[in-house]
A and B are shown apart, each in its own frame.
Chain A
Amino acid sequence: MHNKAASPKKVRLSFLHLAAFLFVYLGNILLFLALRGYLFIVIGVILTVLVPLSFLVVWKLADFVTGTIFMEKDTVSIQNNEFAVRQKDDICVIFSIRNKSLLCTLRGTWIFTAGNAFYGTSDRHMLLLPVPPRGDKQFHMTVTVTELGRVVFACREFILTDLLGIFMVHTACDMECSLYVLPRQDDIASSELPDAYSGTAELSESQHKGSDYSEVTDIRTYQPGDRPRDIHWKLSARQPELMVKERTALAGSERVVLIALPPEKTAAEKLLAEGYRKIHGLITGQTFLRLLVWDNHSFSFASHSCASAAELDTAFCAIFRTDLQAHSSQMIQQYMRNCYPQLDSYLCLAQKEDAVQLEVCVND
């Protein structure tokens, strides 16, 4: 969110402004040659001195200027200084520039990008702000975010222009500010859920034995002492040696929800928005939900437990932390069987025939 120490400065010339200044300068010289007026001598000296002086001011000023991008605290706080808003909410992005010296310039240019890291979109913009002497200057930008994901405002370069507009001092910087955009918490009709909820409940109840609520967290080779029921028979049949499922015990009743994200942005947006509502409807306060999302980077399912709406938001934020392409895979149900062989069934949030459905899937 803050800029780091700015380092090497580069100077570029604006030839247009240089030409304009030369026009004025030569005009003064011509007037002097024509009229020999003392006034033009004074003006000529002023113009001559002004150029290097103006450059020196802006060159030195670059060392004193710091910038920050932040968002107005009119947002939902998640954790660890991370913030989130609901889809279609207004947010106020504030660009702040601070100058510790008495020098000033009328034009400082921020080259900033605005985009959604989840979808991998980004656009470049320029923001022109004056730099006041010994003080700060802020620019407020009220924006509405209509897509889910992680909105990022970042600035990597800052340009200070001298008073005559001729010299532009480029300074590298690293300013960034992000927040998560979550789906809206609209109410969901209870009629949309009972089948799925009751179906998975019956299946789980009949198939979970001895209240052994656990989940598979890893698969490894067989070692002496392992329980036979943990042997992954299907996998072992394709392997030269026995493979067993390593389990982690779960406390209480838990429903597993697999989010099968499609790679297309529009479809993913729809699935996440509607899925959020459906999952939110499943949270009762007594039943725990575990959201599973595939992650191509770690080649495993990211697991997020949700016992409340706040935890659901946190889980979605965690999903948005990685880009969409890392979450989608055609083989997701196969991976599910491999990674969670002990699960006889689970809820799968997927898009089928242009509709988002939360349905019970048998893990066989």
Chain B
Amino acid sequence: MIDKMRKRSGREKTFSQESIALSEGIYLSGGFFGKRETRWTDFFVRAFFLFAIITGSLGGMLSAFDIAYEKGGFFIAALLVSLYCASLYLSPRWENAGYILLFGLVLYAGQGLQTYISSGFYGILNDISAAATSFFETSAQISYAEQVENHSLAISVAMCYFALIGCSIANGLISHRMHCLPILLPSSFFLLVPVYLEHEPSAGYAILYTAGILTVYVFRQNRYQMQNVNTKPYRKSVYKAAKKHRFSDSFCGRAAAGALLGILLLCCVICGIVELVLPKNAYVTAHSRSAFKLHTMDTMENFYLLGVMGLINFYPTTGGLVNGRLGGVNSVRLDYETDLTLEFVPYTYDRMYLKTFVGAQYRPYANNWSILDDTLRADAWNEETATLLMEGYAATVPDHARGVMKIQNVAAPAGVYLPYYSTDTDKILRHGMALEYTFYPLLTEQLVKKPAPPDNGIWLDIPAENRTVIADFCRETGLCGSTQEIISQLRDYFQQNFPYTLSPGVTPRRKDFVNYFLTEKKKGYCAHYASAAVLILRYMGIPARYVEGYAVDAMEVAQDGTLTDLDAAQYYDRTSIRSSNTASEILPQQASVISYDVSDGNAHAWVEVYDENFGWRPVELTPYQTEEDENRGSIWDMFLRLFQNDDAQGGAESETDGEAALAGAIQTSTFGFAVCLVLLLMVLPVRLLVIKCIWHYRYSRADRSEKLLMRYRRIVRRHFSRQLSAAKNFEEQAALLVQNGVLRMEDATLQSLVGTLNQAAYAPGELSEEAFAEAVRCLCQPAK
């Protein structure tokens, strides 16, 4: 021992300011560390964190909804993944390689077990959906097709895969920093959902989850996250702390295990006592719903049916009618729940409209259509045309008919739902009510007499804020000719240049809805086209107005309508369809009464223009929905499609055999895996690029001292990070750099550089410009 000491004593040392001074003349030299002990205890403690949190949250959710799955398999898989993830922090080199392997495993398993994962995921969603449907007492239920027949196996596979992903993410948060909140928020979601739906997780999972989270919290509060002595962040942080006169060596496997066991034991005991005092089943059946839950149930139902967008765009789930309010809808989400039930005799193959809102005056920047006042009411509801048609019917004029439409309000807003043309403008259909509207369809080429032209200029009114944009648009499109020609030209122009979409995005604040649509966005849904078209037609001198309601296509009625036994004579008189041959191909017998459910998918906005022969007539200017648009579902659907296999879209029958599905999935996954591998390889250059950008950003913000150190560190890392890690100070490092030909300079220059580096690192204040420039010049010497 003495020899060793003497040997050490004989060694020449240079004590730079880089050493941390404990006091005057006492410097930390060989570092500081805790007594080396086996790290297995700590390894198992960390693995337990992951296992407890992931299993507790995922398993808790499944147990709450009584979803059947292979518990043993899931536990073993979760345990293995947790152990693997915890082992990543045993050494820094293994950490990098292990994460790449893990990432590859996630990708490969995702591709290889795609069918099982997606099927299991759908299975879980279906079970949750059933619980939600029951809780919200709604008739709508989201249901997904499961491709694998073995429900519990698919769910187990899916859960194992989610455990794999969950552990990978949680490991980064826990093992390095013991981040409690970022792990608590996402994991608690899996338990909050069932608790909200009044399904409690089983006690075992609750204990696991609570103990896991609580232990992470405790470890965080006690700074145990600084344990990982092998990592660079640890070394940096402890040396930084040491300079502030604080040393830390929190690594102690036995203390960690002791704390963990204590908390776990406490959770078990408390859980048992609470169960004895207040049995869970008794509580669940006896407790009442909170005011918060009662107030938020509608919103949550909206969320359940429409996904996240249901929370942020506040689009009504019951209908899709917005009564002229424009611009706030980022993306239209449809729940396809029944709003109205119609009973009528089909009389035309054209689109049939039920009018409920008429917008007279457009309010720019407020982005809405004004509601009519009483003076315009009769005009707005086309009472004159309806009266003329009624007179023609009464006078038994050919091509005049009378129909009755019975409308039941299932979930639509209260209002008038008026078929074209009717005088029942005072029949307000409230929720749950059923009313009969008498209407007189426009089947004739000529009314008994011409209706009076509109005497109100409001139907030609264009706000000044829109006039320039509208004028430019009309000039650009070259609209001209008769009313019919202009409408036709405008429809074609929209069809070719303004694609239809249900996700146009929200109109930005302080922007006008129509101007933004015509000049910038150039895509939208019916309300966009109807609003713009009304102003364009008015500009062209055609009286026009904005209308909302429901539109029902004859094809939809033919496909989805149900025949009833009701007497058709009560519902339609003097059948007189002009193109009866065509209509008979798609519609059932004309004499049948059909019941048809109208959903918010039928909600629509259109334009009414004034025709001197017939009065106000509906005009369709919304482009046809393309296939691409139709395929765009909600974000939820888009997310779900990530798990869908193209081969599996054939449905359950084609993929019911699990082994066949697995074989097919693996076959198809090879290409996917290759693509993932290529993407993985692309990650490296992208990462380098990002690091370089960050470096330049920091360099631009640093002072001269920090700039010099950044440049120096870059050279050090680039060339000999391994050898230089043994060098204790700038002097030794710089000597190594010179020795290896990275820097070329004389001894005097080297000493000067070392001095400047020491000054930059440790002296208060900033380097002078001259010193900085000189040091940079030295560092920029070309290498051999």
Complex contacts, B223 vs chain A, CB 8 Å: 107, 128
Question: Of all chain B residues, which has the CB nearest A131?
Answer: B255
Complex contacts, B288 vs chain A, CB 8 Å: 36
Q: Does B634 contact A (CB under 8 A)?
A: no
Q: Does A130 contact B (CB under 8 A)?
A: yes
Chain A 19-46 residues near chain B, CB threshold 8 A: 20, 24, 31, 33-43, 45-46
Q: Does B274 contact A (CB under 8 A)?
A: yes
Stretch from B135-143, B212-220, B341-349, B742-750 that touches the partner:
B212-220
A121-B25 contact given A38-B283, A106-B218, A129-B249, CB 8 Å threshold: yes
A74-B1 contact given A130-B252, A144-B13, CB 8 Å threshold: yes
Q: Does B758 contact A (CB under 8 A)?
A: no
CB pair A125–B247 under 8 Å, yes or no, is yes
Name the distance in Å between B218's Cβ and chain A's nearest Cβ: 5
Complex contacts, B217 vs chain A, CB 8 Å: 24
Q: Does B626 contact A (CB under 8 A)?
A: no
A86-B255 contact given A128-B248, A140-B32, A165-B221, CB 8 Å threshold: no
A34-B290 contact given A50-B266, A139-B35, A164-B218, CB 8 Å threshold: yes
Name the distance in Å between B13's Cβ and chain A's nearest Cβ: 6
9 A–B contacts, CB within 8 A, in A order: A31-B192, A35-B196, A74-B5, A107-B223, A121-B24, A137-B255, A139-B33, A164-B221, A165-B222
CB pair A127–B192 under 8 Å, yes or no, is no
Complex contacts, A329 vs chain B, CB 8 Å: none
A-B contact sample (20 more), CB < 8 A, given A116-B24, A139-B35, A143-B26: A36-B293, A42-B210, A42-B274, A46-B214, A50-B266, A74-B1, A76-B5, A88-B15, A92-B30, A105-B259, A106-B224, A114-B22, A125-B245, A130-B222, A132-B254, A133-B255, A138-B35, A139-B249, A140-B34, A145-B26
**Which residue in A43, A50, A105, A184 is a CB contact (below 8 Å) of B9?**
A184
> Which are the 3 A-B pairs with shortest beta-carbon distances?
A147-B25, A142-B30, A138-B35
A260 to B248, CA, bound (A): 43
CB pair B254–A123 under 8 Å, yes or no, is no
Question: Of all chain A residues, which has the CB nearest B222?
Answer: A106
Complex contacts, A163 vs chain B, CB 8 Å: 218, 221-222, 259, 262-263
Complex contacts, A34 vs chain B, CB 8 Å: 290, 292-293
Chain A 138-164 residues near chain B, CB threshold 8 A: 138-147, 149, 151, 161, 163-164
Q: Does A209 contact B (CB under 8 A)?
A: no
Q: Does A75 contact B (CB under 8 A)?
A: yes
CB pair A42–B271 under 8 Å, yes or no, is yes
Question: Of all chain B residues, which has the CB nearest A88?
Answer: B13
A76 to B255, CA, bound (A): 36
Complex contacts, A37 vs chain B, CB 8 Å: 195, 200
Name the distance in Å between A187's Cβ and chain B's nearest Cβ: 12
Name the distance in Å between A364's Cβ and chain B's nearest Cβ: 39
A121 to B25, CA, bound (A): 9
A residues sitting closer than 8 Å to B (CB atoms) are 17, 20, 24, 31, 33-43, 45-46, 49-50, 53, 57, 73-76, 85-86, 88-90, 92, 102, 104-107, 114-116, 119, 121-133, 135-147, 149, 151, 161, 163-165, 181, 184
CB pair B210–A17 under 8 Å, yes or no, is no
CB pair A123–B22 under 8 Å, yes or no, is yes
Question: Of all chain B residues, which has the CB nearest A92?
Answer: B30
CB pair A106–B210 under 8 Å, yes or no, is no
Encode contact with A along B1-33: 1 for CB under 8 Å, 0 otherwise. Answer: 110110011000101000101111111111111
**Which residue in A106, A122, A123 is a CB contact (below 8 Å) of B219?**
A106
Encode contact with A along B268-284: 1 for CB under 8 Å, 0 otherwise. Answer: 00110110001010011
Complex contacts, A127 vs chain B, CB 8 Å: 246-249
A149-B25 contact given A36-B289, A46-B267, CB 8 Å threshold: yes
**Which residue in A73, A121, A133, A137 is a CB contact (below 8 Å) of B23?**
A121
Encode contact with A along B54-72: 1 for CB under 8 Å, 0 otherwise. Answer: 0000000000000000000
A326 to B598, CA, bound (A): 103
A46-B270 contact given A36-B287, A36-B293, A123-B22, CB 8 Å threshold: yes
CB pair B5–A89 under 8 Å, yes or no, is yes
A42-B255 contact given A122-B23, A137-B34, A147-B24, CB 8 Å threshold: no
CB pair B250–A130 under 8 Å, yes or no, is yes
A42 to B210, CA, bound (A): 9
CB pair B23–A46 under 8 Å, yes or no, is no
Q: Does B470 contact A (CB under 8 A)?
A: no
CB pair A42–B32 under 8 Å, yes or no, is no
Name the distance in Å between B762's Cβ and chain A's nearest Cβ: 17
Complex contacts, A137 vs chain B, CB 8 Å: 34-35, 252, 255
| Range of interface residues on B (Cβ < 8 Å) | 35 or more
CB pair A38–B200 under 8 Å, yes or no, is yes
Complex contacts, B284 vs chain A, CB 8 Å: 38
Name the distance in Å between A131's Cβ and chain B's nearest Cβ: 6
Name the distance in Å between A272's Cβ and chain B's nearest Cβ: 13
Name the distance in Å between A269's Cβ and chain B's nearest Cβ: 9
A43 to B203, CA, bound (A): 11
CB pair A75–B258 under 8 Å, yes or no, is no
CB pair A106–B255 under 8 Å, yes or no, is yes
A125 to B22, CA, bound (A): 8
**Which residue in A41, A73, A131 is a CB contact (below 8 Å) of B278?**
A41
Question: Of all chain A residues, which has the CB nearest B246?
Answer: A126
A56 to B8, CA, bound (A): 48
A145 to B191, CA, bound (A): 58
Complex contacts, B280 vs chain A, CB 8 Å: 38
**Which residue in B8, B26, B273 is a CB contact (below 8 Å) of A114?**
B26
**Which residue in A36, A50, A147 is a CB contact (below 8 Å) of B290?**
A36
Complex contacts, B527 vs chain A, CB 8 Å: none
Q: Does B201 contact A (CB under 8 A)?
A: yes
Name the distance in Å between A155's Cβ and chain B's nearest Cβ: 12
A143 to B214, CA, bound (A): 38
A42-B254 contact given A33-B290, A74-B5, A143-B22, CB 8 Å threshold: no
CB pair A104–B255 under 8 Å, yes or no, is yes
CB pair B246–A39 under 8 Å, yes or no, is no
A211 to B287, CA, bound (A): 110
A161 to B15, CA, bound (A): 36
Complex contacts, A107 vs chain B, CB 8 Å: 222-223, 250
Q: Does B256 contact A (CB under 8 A)?
A: yes
Chain B 193-216 residues near chain A, CB threshold 8 A: 195-196, 200-201, 206, 210, 214
Question: Of all chain A residues, which has the CB nearest B35?
Answer: A138
Complex contacts, B22 vs chain A, CB 8 Å: 114, 123, 125, 143
CB pair B9–A146 under 8 Å, yes or no, is no
Complex contacts, B35 vs chain A, CB 8 Å: 136-140
A15 to B262, CA, bound (A): 24
Name the distance in Å between A84's Cβ and chain B's nearest Cβ: 11
Name the distance in Å between B686's Cβ and chain A's nearest Cβ: 37
Name the distance in Å between A222's Cβ and chain B's nearest Cβ: 49
CB pair A49–B293 under 8 Å, yes or no, is no
CB pair A43–B210 under 8 Å, yes or no, is yes
Complex contacts, A42 vs chain B, CB 8 Å: 206, 210, 270-271, 274
Name the distance in Å between A114's Cβ and chain B's nearest Cβ: 4
CB pair B221–A20 under 8 Å, yes or no, is yes
CB pair B270–A45 under 8 Å, yes or no, is yes
A133-B270 contact given A39-B195, A164-B218, CB 8 Å threshold: no
Question: Of all chain B residues, which has the CB nearest A113?
Answer: B23
CB pair B255–A90 under 8 Å, yes or no, is no
Question: Of all chain B residues, which has the CB nearest A14?
Answer: B221
A74 to B1, CA, bound (A): 6
A143 to B20, CA, bound (A): 9
CB pair A133–B258 under 8 Å, yes or no, is yes
A41-B266 contact given A144-B19, A146-B27, CB 8 Å threshold: no
Complex contacts, B266 vs chain A, CB 8 Å: 46, 49-50, 53
Complex contacts, A161 vs chain B, CB 8 Å: 222
A106 to B248, CA, bound (A): 11
A23 to B481, CA, bound (A): 71
Complex contacts, B196 vs chain A, CB 8 Å: 35
Complex contacts, A121 vs chain B, CB 8 Å: 23-25
A291 to B311, CA, bound (A): 90
